């Protein structure tokens, strides 16, 4: 029911069956609150007030726009004002999420959607969002600007590249760097620097097509995904952006600030078929633009050597795809054994092999980097996961480990797929060890931590592969909460001859054991290495000294 303190909203014309009272009941049932805000006299009328609304003070706490703005989170206040201004001046949809701050410092998330009515009135609806859902979405949106963050933009770029490969229509990625933003922060303060970033983001948004995707990818950089956009049209978009930024100074509390931007571009699929590669090449082009004097645009260009490598990669990619269709991708199994009982196998690592058309096996190192470059490693990772699950289900006494690539380490579709396979099969899940490379884990530590948590919930063990290469900090290991760390083979090589390697090994093992993780040493090739590793407390060992990988499953021999 509407609050006694709220003045009822009266629709100009009621639809049969949807009179004012029916609308109120529907809104209240949904937990929503409707309003009309007269921008001329800054008065807000509320109706269909929900119990959620009462938690933040009810309509009497928000009689006008000024009172409302005073209750919002500082960053959200700026974002909301920008979205509203874009709606009024450019006709863009008004759709915004923000936090209303309570007296105790906590906040309630609100989703606000509305549209302008005649006579400068904004009509809209507030929906109160679940705090847990917002925490789960925290890694998607940049808090300052309200645009996508780097992770979400990379996902959008991956989607655009996949569509481009399917349709044959090229696209582009632009990275926009704000020139000398540090000078603005130093001279006027970070609040002014933030205001410049927000305004530049708004100007960028106004230059783009509805299908383009904008995000913030760094402290002073934005990224733009231009799907289905030929190279000459990318040039036009870049020139339009430069004009929009240069047309007038940014108005700030410290006065007008003249800002410029530099732009770098990369095209897809010609210059890359993986989002991270495309983003890296655009960043390289941005660096060249800054070297050229800033306030300009540079496009990445492939060298002849790169073109030749691209053709070779395409040929290898076709070979792998044929092998996948013809079921010529197989596992080679290598045991991971207990250091104090070398005959006791803890689990078998499943190493991918491609059986060539000549019948000879091809090691993964010869084709996995290529398919990562070409952008279809997710397909291979899905195949590896499904095959490992089938093998584990068929052999209840065997535990299998398998690697996933960096892009899959935070891929929610892959996680949904393994969840479907294992949700009601905890016995099979307990037979699986999922190995994630350390460098992949470090690329998005919070997202990867959620990924690990989901695998644990299914019953799987998780190992960090190549441990030591990425120099993971204690905090990172604590956040990841994996079960096992695999010490990279590069620290095991020459272990008997190099004291430095022994000291570094002791440091790695101490960190892992101090946090309660089991340790595996890879690349053990001789008796001396095994003895040192055992002495230093490494619990599990893997390498040619114990067994070479074999395509024939050891448990069937």
Helical (H) or strand (E) element with 214? strand 213-218
Q: Which secondary-structure segment (H or E) carries 308?
A: helix 304-325
Alpha-helical (H) ranges within 404-526 are 412-422, 426-429, 438-443, 445-458, 474-480, 499-514
Mean pLDDT of the chain: 84
* pLDDT value at residue 345: 95
Instruction: Collect all residues with Cβ–Cβ distance below 8 Å to 97 and sequence separation of at least 6.
Output: 76, 109, 110, 111, 112, 129, 134, 141
pLDDT in tens, 327-363: 999 999 999 999 999 889 999 999 999 999 999 999 9
| pLDDT category of residue 48 using cuts at 50, 70 and 90 | low
Q: Which of 96, 112, 101 is nearest to 32 (CA)?
A: 112
pLDDT, one tens digit per residue, over 109-121 is 888 888 888 888 9
Report the number of secondary-structure helices (H) and strands (E) in the chain. Answer: 20, 21
Cα separation, 520 vs 486, in Å, equals 5
At 171 the pLDDT is 95
Q: What is the pLDDT of residue 14?
A: 43
Which H or E element spans position 370?
helix 368-374
DSSP designation for 555? G
In this prediction, residue 411 has a pLDDT band, given cuts at 50, 70 and 90, of confident
Identify the pLDDT of residue 520: 93
Question: Which of 3-7, 310-314, 354-358 has the weakest average pLDDT?
Answer: 3-7
Contact 173, 225 (CB under 8 A): yes
Structure confidence at residue 332 (pLDDT): 96
Residue 329 DSSP class: E
Region 294-323 average pLDDT: 85
The strand pairing partners of 549, in sequence order, are none
| Residue 122, strand partner residues | 37, 116
- 46 closest CA partner among 1, 15, 104, 12: 1
Query: Is residue 385 over pLDDT 90?
Result: yes
What pLDDT, on the 0 to 100 scale, is given for residue 557? Answer: 63
Q: What would be the CATH architecture of the domain defined by 150-302?
A: 2-Layer Sandwich (3.30)
Distance CA 280, CA 266 (A): 9
Q: How far is CA 211 from the centre of its chain?
A: 20
Residues 363-371 have a mean pLDDT of 89
For residue 266, what pLDDT is reported? Answer: 95
Question: What's the CA dihedral at 236, 242, 248, 249 to 10 degrees?
Answer: 160
What is the pLDDT at residue 17?
52
DSSP string, 73-95: -HHHHHHHHHHHHHHHHH---EE
What's the CATH number of domain 20-132, 3.40.190.100, 3.30.70.20, 3.30.450.20, 3.40.50.300? 3.30.450.20
Summarize pLDDT for 486-537 with one digit per residue, the tens.
888 888 888 888 888 888 888 888 888 888 889 999 999 999 999 999 999 9
Report which listed range, 177-186, 295-304, 407-416, is most confident.
177-186
Per-residue pLDDT at 134: 52
In what helix (H) or strand (E) does residue 173 lie, and over which residues does it extend? strand 171-178
What the block records as the tokens of 357 is: 């058309």
pLDDT of residue 15 exceeding 80: no
Q: Are the folds of 20-132 and 333-354+377-552 the same?
A: no
Q: Omega into 427 within 30° of 0, i.e. cis? A: no
As given in the structure block, the two tokens for residue 336 are 């991971």
Q: What pLDDT is recorded for position 268?
A: 93
pLDDT bracket for residue 163 (50, 70, 90): confident
DSSP annotation string for 3-53: -TTSPPP--SSPBTTB-HHHHHHHHHHHTEEEEEEETTTTEEEEES--HHH
* Nearest by Cα to 334 from 359, 354, 356, 352: 352
Provide the pLDDT for residue 8: 42
Q: Where are the domains of the chain?
A: 20-132, 150-302, 333-354+377-552
What is the β-pairing status of strands 432-437 and 32-38?
Answer: unpaired
Report yes or no: 518 and 542 within 8 Å, Cβ to Cβ: no
Residue 303 burial (10 A CB sphere; 0-12, 13-18, 19+): exposed
Tell me how far apart the alpha carbons of residues 518 and 512 are, in angstroms, rounded to a whole number.
Answer: 7
Cα–Cα distance, 81 to 202 (Å, whole number):
11
* Chain-centroid distance, C-alpha 302: 27
Q: What integer pLDDT is reported at residue 10 of this predicted model?
A: 43
How sure is the predictor about 393, in pLDDT bands with cuts at 50, 70 and 90?
very high
Does residue 475 surpass a pLDDT of 70? no
Element (H, E) at 54: helix 51-55
Q: Are 114 and 123 in contact (CB under 8 A)?
A: yes
Q: Mean of the pLDDT values across residues 59-78?
A: 84
Cα–Cα distance, 164 to 127 (Å, whole number): 37
228-251 mean pLDDT: 92
CA dist list (Å): 476 to 51, 142, 482 = 41, 22, 10
| Count of CA atoms in the C-beta half-sphere (13 A) of 54 | 11
Is the pLDDT confidence value at 307 over 80?
no
Rg for the chain, CA atoms, rounded: 28
Q: How confident is the model over 82-108, as a mean pLDDT? A: 76
Q: Do the Cβ atoms of 10 and 48 come closer than 8 Å?
A: no
**Residue range 333-354+377-552, CATH number:** 3.20.20.450
- Does 3 have pLDDT greater than 70? no
CA dist., res. 313 & res. 308, Å (int): 9
CA distances from 481 to 320, 379, 411, 453, 504 (A): 34, 27, 18, 8, 22
* 112 phi and psi angles, rounded to 5 deg: -115, 125
Q: What pLDDT score was predicted for residue 468?
A: 64
Residue 93: what pLDDT? Answer: 65
- Examine the pLDDT at 1 and tell me if it is beyond 50: no
């Amino acid at each position: 029911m509407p609050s006694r303190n709220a003045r009822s909203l009266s629709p100009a014309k009621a639809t049969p069956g949807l009179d004012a009272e029916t609308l109120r009941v529907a809104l209240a049932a949904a937990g929503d609150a409707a309003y009309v805000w007269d921008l001329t006299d800054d008065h807000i009328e509320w109706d269909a007030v929900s119990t959620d609304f009462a938690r933040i003070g009810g309509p009497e706490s928000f009689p006008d726009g000024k009172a409302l703005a005073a209750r919002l989170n500082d960053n959200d206040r700026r974002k909301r004002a920008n979205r509203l201004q874009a709606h009024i001046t450019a006709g863009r949809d008004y759709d915004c999420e923000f936090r209303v701050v309570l007296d105790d410092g906590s906040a309630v998330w609100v989703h606000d959607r509305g549209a302008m009515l005649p006579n400068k009135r904004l009509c809209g609806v507030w929906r109160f969002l679940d705090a847990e859902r917002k925490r789960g979405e925290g890694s998607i949106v940049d808090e300052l600007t309200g645009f996508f963050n780097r992770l979400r933009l990379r996902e959008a770029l991956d989607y655009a590249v996949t569509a481009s490969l399917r349709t044959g229509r090229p696209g582009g990625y632009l990275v926009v760097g704000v020139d000398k933003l540090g000078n603005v922060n130093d001279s006027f303060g970070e609040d002014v620097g933030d205001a410049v970033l927000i305004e530049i983001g708004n100007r960028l948004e106004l230059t783009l097509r509805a299908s383009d995707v904008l995000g913030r990818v760094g402290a002073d950089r934005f990224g733009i995904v231009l799907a289905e956009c030929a190279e000459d049209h990318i040039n036009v978009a870049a020139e339009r952006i430069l004009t929009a930024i240069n047309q007038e100074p940014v108005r700030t509390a410290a006065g007008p600030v003249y800002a410029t931007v530099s732009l770098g571009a990369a095209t897809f699929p010609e210059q890359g078929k993986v989002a991270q590669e495309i983003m890296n090449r655009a960043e390289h082009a941005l660096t060249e633009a800054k070297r050229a004097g800033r306030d300009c645009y540079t496009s990445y260009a492939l060298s002849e050597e790169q073109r030749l490598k691209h053709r070779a990669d395409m040929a290898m990619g076709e070979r792998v795809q044929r092998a996948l269709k013809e079921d010529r991708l197989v596992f080679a199994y290598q045991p991971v054994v207990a250091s104090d009982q070398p005959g006791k196998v803890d689990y078998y690592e499943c190493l991918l092999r491609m059986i060539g058309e000549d019948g000879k096996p091809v090691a993964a190192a010869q084709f996995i980097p290529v398919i990562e470059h070409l952008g279809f490693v997710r397909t291979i990772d899905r195949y590896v996961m499904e095959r490992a699950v089938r093998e584990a289900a068929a052999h209840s006494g065997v535990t299998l480990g398998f690697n996933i690539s960096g892009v899959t380490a935070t891929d929610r579709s892959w996680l949904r797929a393994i969840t479907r396979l294992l949700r009601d099969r905890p016995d099979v899940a307990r037979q699986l060890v999922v190995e994630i490379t350390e460098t992949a884990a470090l690329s998005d530590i919070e997202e990867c931590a959620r990924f690990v948590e989901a695998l644990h919930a299914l019953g799987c063990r998780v190992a960090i592969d190549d441990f030591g290469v990425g120099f993971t900090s204690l905090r990172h290991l604590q956040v990841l909460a994996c079960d096992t760390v695999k010490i990279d083979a590069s620290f095991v090589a020459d272990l008997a001859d190099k004291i430095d390697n022994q000291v570094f090994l002791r440091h790695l093992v101490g960190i892992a054991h101090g946090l309660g993780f089991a340790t595996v040493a890879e690349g053990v090739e001789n008796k001396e290495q095994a003895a040192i590793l055992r002495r230093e407390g490494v619990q599990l060992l893997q390498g040619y000294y114990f067994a070479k990988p074999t395509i024939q499953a050891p448990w069937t021999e």
